[in-house]
Amino acid sequence: MTDQKIRVLIAKPGLDGHDRGAKVVARALRDAGMEVIYTGIRQTPEMIAEAALQEDVDVIGLSILSGAHMELFPRVINALKEREIGPDDVLLFAGGIIPDDDIPRLKQLGFQAVFGPGTSTEDVITFVRDWAGARAIGTA
Amino acid sequence: MAEDVDALVERLLAGNRRALARILTQIENDAPAGRRALSLLYPRSGRAHTVGLTGSAGSGKSTLVAALARVLRARGKTLCIVAIDPTSPFSQGALLGDRIRMQELTADREVFLRSMATRGNLGGLAPATAGIVTALDAFGKDAVIVETVGAGQDEVEVAAMADTTVVVLTPGSGDDVQAMKAGIMEIADVLVVNKSDLPNADLLARQLRSIVEASRSGRPTPIVRTASALGEGIEALADALEEHRAYIEQPEVRAAHRRAQARHQVLALARQRLIDRVVTMHSGDGRLDDLIAQVAARRLDPHSAADALIRE
């Protein structure tokens, strides 16, 4: 009997120490039946990529409030690539304080969605579920 | 599919961590690829020192494992860690937070940490844990440490899988000594009094000593005092693990231990397969629901219902 579970990594790169949003999303995804790995605050891009590799996650959500996303997110993507994890292997999304102007560039980098303040957790759950459903059909 | 798995197994055996991680997922999902991988990996396992670490919730297991990992790394040992957290019975989801306490280990290529959810298993271990440990063992690290959910009971499962079982207790929780009596004592190869900077640590250590002396014949169970958050006593714990390993490496002890482990694993899997088969067979035809309804209404006793289920 195969028991497939969506595994999600929620990580906070950089130096800001406010992880309330990250925890809210982590709990919401857990309550939606997913297995959520939460790594805590102040993660380097290498630590995030390494956790994603070891945990073999399907989804990575990055939360950032410090404004350093354009600096740190590309480094996370590169650290993932160094570990043979590309945009086809994982669903990437971002959350936190991210100006609209930066969103096109983040989408180019491989982020499928950027959730700002006030996003309902239902939106995040639906987003992840839709992607997982599409992938299941694609591989069947 | 089989060729993909075989190639993945080759890469795992060559030390590729991504291949290892992907195989672990297949094993955890009990997918055909996972079973195929296990059949290839099992003959290559049996070399790592497998350590099971159990204890009640809040006894400081994660912090202890992180501190132990640092000491083992300082001694030049390479290791894998499996950290198990509970699956919510309501949502079937899980929040796996052990990496928070093991953050700095993530930067170390010689440590591989995998979080697992229990996925409905009651014994403190996830159903696939034995298979996960086999794969990590075959990966070739020196030690595999499994940190279980603090279930407090039925952790015989841990002992059946590990070479060395560590039971972690903390001062001031009366439950601990109760648990001792209920059988955890029999599975402990090493007892740890963690948070030993707290009051009553002496009392707990004395109580444990008297139980050890009264109940065990042969090798007395060592009692190690640690304060994992302060990094105290961890060297002594690493020593106790090494000593136990040397003990079970004696040929006659080792043979008996391996046989007991193998017996437990085979029977546990056979039991699960039988249950799955019976449930699958009688879910479709409504027979299972029918028998359950009869038992619930007190028209049939549970033994007769179980007999009926198996006989058909």
Residue-wise pLDDT tens digits, B261-304:
899 888 888 888 888 888 888 888 888 899 999 999 999 999 99
Q: Which residues of B touch A29 (CB under 8 A)?
A: 93
Same domain, B233 and B269: no
Instruction: Say which amino acid occupies B85.
Output: D
**Cβ within 8 Å, pair A1-B30:** yes
Query: Does residue B78 sit in the same domain as residue B178?
Result: yes
Q: Which of A36-50, B85-99, B135-149, B151-165 has the weakest average pLDDT?
A: B151-165
What is the model's pLDDT at position B2?
53
* Residues B116, B40 share a domain: no
B138, B105: one domain = yes
B91 and B157 share a domain? yes
Cβ within 8 Å, pair A51-B99? yes
Please state, in angstroms and rounded to a whole number, the distance separating the CA atoms of residues B64 and B195.
10
B100 within 8 A of A40, measured Cβ to Cβ: yes
User: What radius of gyration, in Å, describes the C-alpha atoms of chain A?
Assistant: 14
B25 and B148 share a domain? Answer: no
B185 with B203, same domain: the answer is yes
In a domain, B273, yes or no: yes
Query: What CATH homologous superfamily does A7-139 map to?
Result: Cobalamin-binding domain (3.40.50.280)
So what's the pLDDT on residue A2? Answer: 46
Residue B180 pLDDT > 90: no
Angle (CA) A23-B115-B137 rounded to 5° is: 165
Cβ-nearest to A27 among B95, B103, B114: B95
Mean local confidence (pLDDT), B249-270: 89
Distance separating alpha carbons of residues B189 and B162, to the nearest angstrom: 10
Residues in chain B closer than 8 A to A35 (CB atoms): 87, 93-94, 96, 115, 117
As a whole number of angstroms, the distance between CA B283 and CA B280 comes to 5
Q: Say yes or no: B100 contacts chain A, CB-CB below 8 A.
A: yes
ipTM over 0.90: yes
Question: Do the Cβ atoms of A31 and B30 come within 8 Å?
Answer: no
Q: Let me know whether B284 and B182 are in one domain.
A: no
Q: Residue B152 has what pLDDT?
A: 53
Closest residue by Cα to residue A77 from A39, A106, A57: A106
Provide the number of structural domains found in chain B: 3
HSE-CB of A69 using CA atoms within 13 angstroms: 26
Indicate whether B17 and B156 sit together in one domain: no
Q: How confident is the model at residue A16 (pLDDT cuts 50, 70, 90)?
A: confident
Residue B226 — very low, low, confident or very high, per pLDDT cuts 50/70/90?
very high
Instruction: Supply the range of the domain harboring residue B305.
Output: 263-311
Calculate how close chain B gets to A63, using CA atoms only, in Å.
16
Check if A50 contacts B (Cβ < 8 Å): yes
Q: Least CB-CB distance to A53: which of B21, B99, B117? A: B21
Report whether pLDDT(B1) > 60: no
Please report residues of B whose CB lies closer than 8 A to that of A58. Answer: none
**Do B237 and B157 share a structural domain?**
yes
CA nearest B94: which of B159, B38, B28? B28
Distance CA A56, CA B18 (A): 8
Query: Domain map of chain A by residue range?
Result: 7-139
Average pLDDT over residues A75-93: 94
Between B175 and A38, residue with greater pLDDT: A38
Q: Which residues of A touch B24 (CB under 8 A)?
A: 56
Which residue of chain A has the CA closest to B87?
A: A35
Query: Does B5 lie in the same domain as B25?
Result: yes
Any alpha helices (H) in B54-196, and if so which ranges? 61-74, 129-139, 156-161, 175-179, 185-187
Nearest residue to B135 (alpha-carbon basis) of B300, B302, B23, B26? B23
Cβ–Cβ below 8 Å for B112 and A54: yes
Asked if residue B294 and residue B280 are part of one domain, the reply reads yes
Does B95 sit within 8 Å of A36, measured CB to CB? yes
Burial of B52 (C-beta count, 10 Å sphere; 0-12/13-18/19+) = buried
Q: Do B91 and A30 touch (CB under 8 A)?
A: yes
